[in-house]
Amino acid sequence: MQHSAVPELAHTHTRPIHWLATATALAGVVALSSVVQPDSATAAQTPGSDPRTAQAAAAPPATTGVDYPLDCGPVKLVIARKAAGDLDGDGRPETVAVAHCDAGMSTPPDALYVLTQGADDAHARVVATLVDPKDRQKVTKLAVHQGAVQADLLGYSSPKVPTCCPDVTDTVKWQWKNGAFERSTPAQARSV
């Protein structure tokens, strides 16, 4: 098979006139784009609101630097679990935190707190106690779903049951109603 020579085509060689035409076309596009601007945005915004501030306000409260109503004495307070969501419908998320004292042995009881952003927006504060450590319960699961706090709790059928061996489980839910968290028990308490 023999290949025939293909004649060189004029448009395959660049010449200064080609570069000048390309530069002129590009300059025209840039000039036109600076003159033609898109229409202004039509999304509704609250007068005086800054989108960057709204994003910062939407962050859930941090669990650090909070004055928890839990006295751990010489041992450290531990945040074992946390979840976040808008619990009261104000458009700002709250944080739900499971806290206990860092006991070296045994099973320390948990506390379940609801945190909201403080008035200064710098530090969170505790606004509700859903589980008090005096109740001797452990929070094994925690979630915020559709504005409600859901938790699985381990507890004790009597004060005589050792803290190592909780013998009652319970699934509970808290919903913000009429200015307070209302507790319901979707599933009845059952023995382990």
pLDDT digits (tens, 9 = 90+) for 8-39: 545 555 666 655 666 666 565 555 555 555 54
Q: Does any domain span residue 5?
A: no
- Measured distance CA(82)–CA(97) in Å, rounded: 4
In terms of average pLDDT, the best of 56-70, 114-128, 164-178 is 164-178
Q: What is the mean pLDDT of residues 102-129?
A: 86
Mean pLDDT of the chain: 78
The HSE-up count of residue 75 (CA atoms within 13 Å, CB side) is: 12
Q: Does any domain span residue 101?
A: yes
Chain centroid to CA 26: how far? 46
Q: Does any domain span residue 34?
A: no
- Measured distance CA(140)–CA(132) in Å, rounded: 15
Answer whether 0.85 is exceeded by the pTM.
Answer: no
Identify the residue whose tokens are 């808008």: 86
Q: Does any domain span residue 22?
A: no
Q: Does any domain span residue 187?
A: yes
Q: Based on the structure, what is the number of domains in the chain?
A: 1
Q: Does any domain span residue 12?
A: no
Is the confidence at residue 45, as pLDDT, over 50?
no
Using only C-alpha atoms, the chain has a radius of gyration, in whole angstroms, of: 32
Chain centroid to CA 165: how far? 33
* Structure-block tokens of residue 21: 């035409």
Q: Does any domain span residue 107?
A: yes
Please report which confidence band the pLDDT of residue 6 belongs to, taking 50, 70 and 90 as the band edges: very low
- Measured distance CA(57)–CA(122) in Å, rounded: 11
Surface-to-core class of residue 110, CB atoms within 10 Å of its CB (0-12 exposed, 13-18 middle, 19+ buried):
buried
Residue-range definition of the domain harbouring residue 81: 60-191
* Structure-block tokens of residue 10: 């004029």
Burial 155-171 (b: 16+ CB within 10 A, else e): bbeeeeeeeeebebbbb
Phi-psi region for residue 135, left (φ > 0), alpha (ψ -120 to 50) or beta? alpha
